Structure formats: C-alpha cells, structure tokens
C-alpha cells in the first residue's frame, strides 16, 4: 500500500498491516498503532483539519515501515514453519530470536517523541 493515509482518512491495525499469524503479534502491533495515534492526537498544537492531515501523514511515515516489516517477516516465519527454508533447527531458532528482538525491542515512547518533533516542524510551532 503506498500510504496509510489519504487526507483526513487513516487506516491502522489489521486494515494497515493484515498478516498471517506466524509471528503472533498482529494484535500487539495494532495496539502500538493505537497508542501511537492517541499520543500524537493528544498534542495540543493540533487545531484544524489540516493539522490532522499532517498528523496522519506523520503516522504513515513512522508506522508504515514497521507494519510492512510484520507482514514480510510473518510470511517468512510461515515458510520456516513449513520447512521451506530447510530443517536446520539452530538456524530456525536464530531467525526467530532475531525477529522477536525487533518485535520486543521497539521503543514506542521514542517513536512518539519523534512524531511530536516532526509535528512541531510541520506545524512550524
């Protein structure tokens, strides 16, 4: 999908990154989306519909890459589970651990701070 937003319309959660269940974290990513969006929309500098459009564009810039990562890596893990990538259990374990480091190592607070900094620049405040 080229963008998660179009003007004042934004998609999040499964609508933005529907995925297979192989990583078991689709719902968690949807919760991240919601928390991120709530933090962004709580910013008192948002005053107009145009400001909302800018906030949604920031959401897209920061969150879309992570959602796409989930879709691609869940597909990869499904292939590993089906042994399409071979049956080297040590390699499979290493691949899974690397992916869960990305899932669990995400700092939502840092992403929210980055979004608010971008919002300040966009709104020239």
CA–CA distance, 54 with 118 (Å, rounded to integer): 9
120 in helix, strand or coil?
helix
CA–CA distance, 98 with 114 (Å, rounded to integer): 25
Predicted local confidence at residue 63, as pLDDT: 97
Determine contact, residues 70/18, Cβ cutoff 8 Å. no
Predicted local confidence at residue 50, as pLDDT: 94
Place of tokens 């796409």: 68
* Enclosing domain of residue 111: 5-123
Predicted local confidence at residue 10, as pLDDT: 97
Q: How far from chain centre, in Å, is Cα 3?
A: 12
Predicted local confidence at residue 69, as pLDDT: 97
Please count the structural domains in the chain.
1
Predicted local confidence at residue 15, as pLDDT: 94
Predicted local confidence at residue 106, as pLDDT: 97
Return averaged pLDDT per consecutive 10 residues of the chain, 125 residues in all. Answer: 92 94 94 97 94 96 96 95 91 95 97 96 87
Which one-letter DSSP state was computed for residue 107? -
Query: Which residues 6+ apart lie within 8 Å of 20 measured at CB?
Result: 74, 75, 78
Predicted local confidence at residue 1, as pLDDT: 75
Determine contact, residues 64/16, Cβ cutoff 8 Å. yes
Place of tokens 């959602």: 67
């Amino acid at each position: 999908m080229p963008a998660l937003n179009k003007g004042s319309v934004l998609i999040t959660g499964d609508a933005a990154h529907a995925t297979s269940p192989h990583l078991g974290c689709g719902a968690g990513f949807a919760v991240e989306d919601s928390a991120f969006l709530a933090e962004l929309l709580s910013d008192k500098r948002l005053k107009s519909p145009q400001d909302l459009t800018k906030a949604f564009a920031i959401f897209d810039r920061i969150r879309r890459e992570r959602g796409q990562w989930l879709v691609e890596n869940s597909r990869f893990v499904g292939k590993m589970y089906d042994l399409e990538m071979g049956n080297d259990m040590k390699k499979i374990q290493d691949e899974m651990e690397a992916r869960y480091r990305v899932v669990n190592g995400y700092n939502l607070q840092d992403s929210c701070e980055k979004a608010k900094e971008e919002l300040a620049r966009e709104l020239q405040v």
